[in-house]
Chain A
Amino acid sequence: MSGLDREVHIEVHDLTMAYGSFVIQRDLNFKVRRGDVFIIMGGSGCGKSTLLRHMVGLKEPARGNVYYEGVDFWSVEVKEREAMMRRFGILYQSGALWSSMTLAENIALPLEEYTDLTPSQVREVVSLKLSLVGLAGFEEFYPSEISGGMRKRAGLARAMALDPDILFFDEPSAGLDPISARRLDDLILELRESLGSTIVVVTHELASIFAIGTNSVFLDSETKTMIAGGDPRKLLETSHDPKVRSFLTRDAPEERSD
């Protein structure tokens, strides 16, 4: 099945993001299809993470809508929206693990809250999730006792706790060494292949963008809107926009002589 045949899973329509009167991005329009690894890219400070916050329900848009399987996310009742949010798994930039809980407790919390599993079954699922991210045996560790890369993987295990439909990653490779970053990319691809999940990744790491991305949107901080979109590899070949080209080829744009 080609990418375009797959059903639209997420649709962002005429979205404008603003803090008060300060507009961050305006008129964003794009579709994410089921099973996509969708990259939100752009330079630092262009509003990538803010867009993610709008998509996962942490910040309401100034204008526009976000649809999940055709349902307007911001127009439904709060309870329905919360139920939709439970189908998301989110890996925050720092892992965002709860520091007063062990890794096992971090992953167990959503399972205890939203499933009828017995404590021993919860423990088994927790062990499975930690094994999937290569952290078998670290159940009783606190977040402060493990490295940044491990915290990120544990954060991913927590994000996967409820077997979400959509996984959101905010700068997954930031602060990781190239090998750990590559492993995380492989893990993202494996999850997509095995689970058929839709994955949305905010990143500006070129290696990750080309390794995992199947579709993308490029946000520009100057014009405050999206200036390109599509398969990142094709974008590299076909885009004539100097900002997109310089970003994807890692070349500094030429200085004006005047």
Chain B
Amino acid sequence: MFMDPTGRTNASEPGFHLARNGAGTLLVRLAGSWTIAEGIPSTAEIAREIESDPRIRRVIFDTENLQSWDSSLLTFLVKLLELCRGADVEAVRDGLPAGARRLITLATAVPEEKGARRAAGTETFLSRIGAGTIGILSGATETLSFIGETFLASLRLLRGKARFRRCDLTLLIQDCGAQALPIVSLISVLVGLILAFVGAIQLRLFGAQIYVADLVGIGMAREMGAMMTAIIMAGRTGAAFAAQLGTMQVNEEIDALRTLGISPIDFLVLPRMIALVLMLPLLCLYANLMGILGGAMVGVGMLDLSVVQYFNETRDAIRLTDFMAGLFKSGVFGILIALSGCLRGMQCGRSSSAVGLAATSAVVTGIVAIVVADAILTVIYDLLGI
């Protein structure tokens, strides 16, 4: 409670009594402690009184028994004054505490800006569909223009004219490569282990448990190594790219680059894309080896195969083409993760919640793009007989 004009501190319930002061004047006697903690009395009784007696032309106030007040009284008075205005009744503020009079004057000093108030929930179903469609179209245009700009920046890079700091690239390569090794190791070993375990149960029925090595080797090299690495990197690095660029957007750092004549695509997007395109195939290769190691654990531990037997079978099963197919896929996935992370970061709004949305959107876009690209590449490989 921030004020106590009478110096009394005994809080009692806020309230008012209505009395007539002459035929046309309604006296509102405010009493008690008008604080937010005590609640805000309703103006309904006064409204009824004014409505029921058209002779009332004036409302006056008596605050002799008012103990203390805060926004509770102000909210009540603002509402009451509005009510009086609507009923063409004069509200005489003289009897109110001086502070309250001043604050009411302050609250009504700046008129509401025309058109500022927004009506809630007035959008029709059709207008929502329309707005959604326009949103999708403008999103697609932005995405295409971003891809186009990145392509042009890549051409500038090939001509040696792209501008970015080499030390940024080194740090990004470190972040996308070496620092991702622990999580890639863990997931890949487990994926190899799961593949081998599922295969072992079936193949043991036919006494063909040695083919677990083929299953794990080919599965990891052609598909799972690239796919799992890409999904890990979409969650880890794609989200980080979106959050970094989004925060730069919020802090106007990207605007600062633009006004200096430096293309943010060159300076921020290209190094991230290069780092991921270089590192993802290497991580994929590493994931393949870790997956095979996980498979070997099951082969040796559960199927009574020797380590040499397992690795000889793996070597015989996997062709170089299988490895290359997986590595090519991972390169494509690298481009897609970098593009989706950077695109969402560059599209980020100028608030902290927008940064969170950008990171989430980057992961979702990245994973969808990875799965779609994988399906397309698998069909192409099949057509080409790879």
B99 close to A115 (CB less than 8 A): no
Contacts A99-B351, A125-B71; is A196 near B2 (CB within 8 Å)?
yes
Shortest B5–chain A CB gap in Å is 8
Shortest A5–chain B CB gap in Å is 14
Shortest A257–chain B CB gap in Å is 40
Closest to A167 in B: B2
B354 close to A144 (CB less than 8 A): yes
| Interface presence of B350 (CB below 8 A) | yes
Q: Which of B74-82, B140-148, B254-262, B361-369 contacts A (4 or more CB under 8 A)?
A: B74-82
A124 close to B36 (CB less than 8 A): no
Determine the chain B residues whose CB is within 8 A of the CB of A99 once the complex forms: 351-354
Contacts A116-B39, A129-B71; is A196 near B349 (CB within 8 Å)?
no
Shortest B289–chain A CB gap in Å is 44
Give a binary string over A88-126; 1 marks a CB under 8 Å from any B CB, 0 the rest.
000000000001100000000001000111000100110
User: How many Å lie between the Cα of A143 and that of B349 in the bound state?
Assistant: 12
User: How many Å lie between the Cα of A187 and that of B102 in the bound state?
Assistant: 11
| Interface presence of A23 (CB below 8 A) | no
Shortest A144–chain B CB gap in Å is 4
Contacts A111-B36, A117-B36, A163-B2; is A194 near B354 (CB within 8 Å)?
no
Q: How many residues on B have C-beta within 8 angstroms of the other chain's C-beta atoms?
A: 38
Give a binary string over B343-382; 1 marks a CB under 8 Å from any A CB, 0 the rest.
0000001111110000000000000000000000000000
User: How many Å lie between the Cα of A121 and that of B98 in the bound state?
Assistant: 24
Determine the chain B residues whose CB is within 8 A of the CB of A187 once the complex forms: 106
Determine the chain B residues whose CB is within 8 A of the CB of A141 once the complex forms: 116, 118
User: How many Å lie between the Cα of A197 and that of B354 in the bound state?
Assistant: 36
Interface centre among A124, A141, A163 (most CB of B within 10 A): A163
Closest to A136 in B: B112
Kindly count the residue-residue contacts between A and B in the assembled complex, taking CB atoms under 8 Å apart. Answer: 100
Shortest B233–chain A CB gap in Å is 28
Give a binary string over B289-301; 1 marks a CB under 8 Å from any A CB, 0 the rest.
0000000000000
| Interface presence of B113 (CB below 8 A) | yes
Contacts A137-B117, A140-B118, A195-B2; is A124 near B109 (CB within 8 Å)?
no
A contact residues, range: 35 or more
User: How many Å lie between the Cα of A38 and that of B244 in the bound state?
Assistant: 40
A117 close to B102 (CB less than 8 A): no
User: How many Å lie between the Cα of A131 and that of B102 in the bound state?
Assistant: 13
A131 close to B78 (CB less than 8 A): yes
B117 close to A139 (CB less than 8 A): yes
| Interface presence of A138 (CB below 8 A) | yes
User: How many Å lie between the Cα of A137 and that of B103 in the bound state?
Assistant: 18
Shortest A183–chain B CB gap in Å is 10
| Interface presence of B100 (CB below 8 A) | yes
Determine the chain A residues whose CB is within 8 A of the CB of B126 once the complex forms: none
Determine the chain B residues whose CB is within 8 A of the CB of A117 once the complex forms: 36, 39-40
A128 close to B351 (CB less than 8 A): no
Closest to A89 in B: B2
Closest to B357 in A: A100
Determine the chain B residues whose CB is within 8 A of the CB of A131 once the complex forms: 78, 107-108, 110
Shortest A119–chain B CB gap in Å is 12
B112 close to A125 (CB less than 8 A): no
Interface centre among A131, A140, A160, A187 (most CB of B within 10 A): A131
| Interface presence of A132 (CB below 8 A) | yes
User: How many Å lie between the Cα of A99 and that of B247 in the bound state?
Assistant: 13
Give 24 A-B contacts (CB < 8 Å), ordered by A residue. Answer: A99-B352, A100-B353, A117-B40, A124-B79, A125-B40, A125-B72, A128-B71, A131-B110, A134-B109, A136-B107, A137-B116, A137-B117, A141-B116, A141-B118, A143-B351, A144-B349, A162-B36, A163-B1, A163-B2, A163-B36, A163-B71, A190-B106, A194-B106, A195-B2
What 4 A-B pairs are tightest by C-beta distance, nearest first? Answer: A99-B351, A100-B353, A134-B110, A194-B99
16 additional A-B pairs beyond A127-B78, A163-B2, A194-B98, beta carbons within 8 Å, are A99-B353, A115-B36, A116-B39, A124-B40, A125-B36, A131-B78, A132-B107, A134-B110, A136-B107, A137-B113, A137-B116, A138-B113, A139-B118, A140-B120, A141-B118, A195-B70
Which residues in B have some Cβ–Cβ distance to A below 8 Å? 1-3, 35-37, 39-40, 70-72, 74-75, 78-79, 98-100, 102-103, 106-113, 116-118, 120, 349-354
